[in-house]
């Protein structure tokens, strides 16, 4: 069930804390060995010359689209669309990066920004996972990780600090930064067109995170970070929210069967339940997608709250309007940092798909291809959807979204959880566009708190040579994003308004 800024009692009368029906369905499927994922084949890695891959990696972008296509699509949004036809070559209009940004900003009223905000900080501050990342770095950062866990470990990840300042103080939260970024775009639109447009923001939370996020939003609109840009009176009630129910986790018995996972907490046996992945957003946010479409929105972005680089890419918004394609997804050329996550492939039918390294494709296959000089595209975890297409196909997407079995080991034991991955939708949509972007601009994730400390270049004077260059690369990206996308100033060793 779904909700729109309701009081907490109303929320839980509408939304089950545990999705018991789905939990039981999965348990039955596990015990019948009938839980199947998406049937994926692998043919090769697509090259940069693939017709669906558009490079947006620098300011010298020059994209050509057929005149008839451009005119037919832009007239849907602008009566005076010809002012955006900057130059042409034969039967094509030509667009530079600056041209695309101007069109993208003009499309701001037709756009909504979606935040996948259901994750708790369970793994983020988990001591075992942080130490497994790198023992030497964990030893260096142990006190800071323990301190942060004490301060923020009980919170949803989205309202924990997105970075750490050089003096060890904590920065603004992921959610605050996202709201500030959208308010900046509202101001830019007002300065250009003289019309105050409130940001359109929606989010998927979970029953574990909703109340804490709601309380957090009660207090941030008086903070100067938000207040200094809030010319349009944007407020908490403008954010559309849906709650994702939890799904029980499972443990495998000695005979190969499964039952619900339980553990002892404060002397009491409890069952562990978690959100079943952001791929459930299509089901959980279905009513919000419908509401946005009925209100006149034409495009929706979705992305993870913990990626500081996830902001509005005006160039991709413009391309989606020009082409009228189903959806677009950002990928960057894979770097040595990208050892886990999704990569772009072509299957046996020459369809694009996104698969995790180590699942369909072995790490050895990936390394061999890179060793020969091949480029692999790595998923930056953002999706921009043509909302009309999404509405027409959403029930099919919900039905066909595969389930993954995830084995986890945490401080309280080993368990199995079920997860649905958003980006497997790439296989399900027609003719998806792939936007090649710079990783350091668009993909700055913080899966573990140790990642945040490295990206913040915290205590970098004590790094070994192996991590010094990596931290510097990530920190340059972080600093550029904080300055250029969130309009923060670096003063006296801290990022501030």
In a domain, 14, yes or no: no
- pLDDT tens per residue, range 77-93: 999 999 999 999 999 99
Residues 6+ apart with CB under 8 A from 461: none
* Cα–chain center distance at 468: 27
CB 278 within 8 A of CB 421: yes
Task: Grade residue 339 by pLDDT with cuts at 50, 70 and 90.
Answer: confident
* Helix orientation angle between 210-220 and 174-193, rounded to the nearest 10 degrees: 50
Beta bridge pairs of residue 383 = 302, 329
pLDDT tens digits along 398-424: 988 888 888 888 878 899 999 899 999
d(CA 470, CA 455): 8
- Report the domain count for the chain: 1
- pTM greater than the 0.85 cutoff: yes
- Domain membership of residue 11 (yes or no) is no
Q: Of the ranges 130-144, 220-234, 424-438, which one carries the lowest mean pLDDT score?
A: 130-144
- 3 is a domain residue: no
The residue segments making up the domain with residue 197 are 22-496
Q: Domain with 426 in it: what CATH number?
A: 3.90.550.10
Note whether residue 130 is domain-resident: yes
| Burial letters 214-225, b for 16+ CB under 10 A, else e | bebbeebeeeeb
What's the CA angle centered on 403, arms 214 and 445, to 5 degrees?
Answer: 50
Helices (H), 295-418: 314-323, 363-371, 387-400
- pLDDT level of residue 16 (50, 70, 90 thresholds): low
Query: What pLDDT was estimated at residue 140?
Result: 93
β-bridge pairing 87-89 and 92-96: antiparallel
pLDDT value at residue 37:
58
Look-up of token digits 């940004």? 101
- Whether 55 shows a pLDDT value over 90: the answer reads yes
> Is residue 6 a part of any domain in this protein?
no
pLDDT score at 329? 98
pLDDT > 60? residue 11:
no
Query: For residue 398, is it within any domain?
Result: yes
Is 9 within the bounds of a domain? no
15, part of any domain: no
Q: How far apart are CA 78 and CA 257, in angstroms?
A: 59
Within a 10 A sphere around the Cβ of 177, how many other Cβ atoms? 24
Looking at 41-55, 118-132, 214-228, 411-425, which range is the least confident one?
Answer: 118-132
Window from 37-51, 277-291, 328-342 with minimum mean pLDDT: 37-51
| Percent residues over pLDDT 70 in the chain | 96
461 pLDDT more than 80: yes
Region class of 194: left (phi > 0), else alpha (psi between -120 and 50), else beta: left
The C-alpha angle 376, 379, 383, rounded to 5 degrees, equals 140
As a whole number, the mean pLDDT across the chain is: 92
Compute φ and ψ for 165, nearest 5 degrees: -75, 165
């Amino acid at each position: 069930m779904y909700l729109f800024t309701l009081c907490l009692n109303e929320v839980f009368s509408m939304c089950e804390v545990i999705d018991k029906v789905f939990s039981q369905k999965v348990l039955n499927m596990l015990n019948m060995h009938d839980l199947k994922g998406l049937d994926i084949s692998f043919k090769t890695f697509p090259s940069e010359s693939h017709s669906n891959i558009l490079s947006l990696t620098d300011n010298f972008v020059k994209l050509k689209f057929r005149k008839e296509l451009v005119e037919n699509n832009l007239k849907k949004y602008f009566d005076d669309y010809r002012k955006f036809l900057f130059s042409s070559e034969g039967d094509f209009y030509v667009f530079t990066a600056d041209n695309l940004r101007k069109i993208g900003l003009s499309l701001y009223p037709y756009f909504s920004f979606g935040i996948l905000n259901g994750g708790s900080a369970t793994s983020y501050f988990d001591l075992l996972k942080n130490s497994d990342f790198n023992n030497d770095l964990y030893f260096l950062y142990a006190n800071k990780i323990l301190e942060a866990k004490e301060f923020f470990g009980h919170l949803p990840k989205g309202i924990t600090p997105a970075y750490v300042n050089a003096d060890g103080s904590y920065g603004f939260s992921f959610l605050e930064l996202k709201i500030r970024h959208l308010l900046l775009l509202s101001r830019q639109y007002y300065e250009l067109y003289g019309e105050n447009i409130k940001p359109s923001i929606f989010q998927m939370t979970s029953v574990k995170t909703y109340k804490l996020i709601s309380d957090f939003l009660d207090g941030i609109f008086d903070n100067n970070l938000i207040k200094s840009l809030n010319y349009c009176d944007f407020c908490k009630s403008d954010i559309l929210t849906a709650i994702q129910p939890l799904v029980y986790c499972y443990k495998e018995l000695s005979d190969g069967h499964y039952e619900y996972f339980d553990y002892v907490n404060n002397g009491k046996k409890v069952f562990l339940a978690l959100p079943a992945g952001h791929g459930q957003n299509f089901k959980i946010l279905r009513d919000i997608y419908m509401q946005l479409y009925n209100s006149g929105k034409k495009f929706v972005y979705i992305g993870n709250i913990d990626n500081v680089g996830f902001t509005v890419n005006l160039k991709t918004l413009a391309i989606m309007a020009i082409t009228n394609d189903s959806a677009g997804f950002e990928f960057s050329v894979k770097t040595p940092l990208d050892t886990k996550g999704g990569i772009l492939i072509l299957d046996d039918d020459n369809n694009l798909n996104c698969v995790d390294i180590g699942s369909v494709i072995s790490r050895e296959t990936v390394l061999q291809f890179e060793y020969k000089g091949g480029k692999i595209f790595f998923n930056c975890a953002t999706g921009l959807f043509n909302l009309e297409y999404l509405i027409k196909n959403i029930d099919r997407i919900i039905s066909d979204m595969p389930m993954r079995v995830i084995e986890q080991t945490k401080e309280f034991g080993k368990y199995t959880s079920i997860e649905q991955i958003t980006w497997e939708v790439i296989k399900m949509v027609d003719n998806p566009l792939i936007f090649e972007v710079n990783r350091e601009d668009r993909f700055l994730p913080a899966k573990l708190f140790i990642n945040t400390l490295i990206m913040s270049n915290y205590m970098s004077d004590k790094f070994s040579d192996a991590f010094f260059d990596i931290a510097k690369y990530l920190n340059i990206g972080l600093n550029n994003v904080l300055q250029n996308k969130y309009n923060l100033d670096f003063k006296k060793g801290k990022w501030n308004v």
